[in-house]
Amino acid sequence: MMLKSAYPYYLANQAVYANQDLAVSNKYTGQVVTRVALATEQAIDHALNAAVSAQYAMAQLPAYHRQQVLEHCVERFKQRADELAYSLCIEAGKPIKDARGEVTRL
- Paired residues of 10 in beta bridges: 15
CA distances from 91 to 29, 61, 76 (A): 10, 37, 21
- Alpha helices for 1-106 (secondary structure H): 41-60, 63-79, 81-92, 96-103
H or E segment to which residue 6 belongs: strand 6-7
One-letter amino acid for residue 28 of the chain: Y
Give tens-digit pLDDT for 42-98.
999 999 999 999 999 999 999 999 999 999 999 999 999 999 999 999 999 999 999
Give tens-digit pLDDT for 9-38.
999 889 999 889 999 999 999 999 999 999
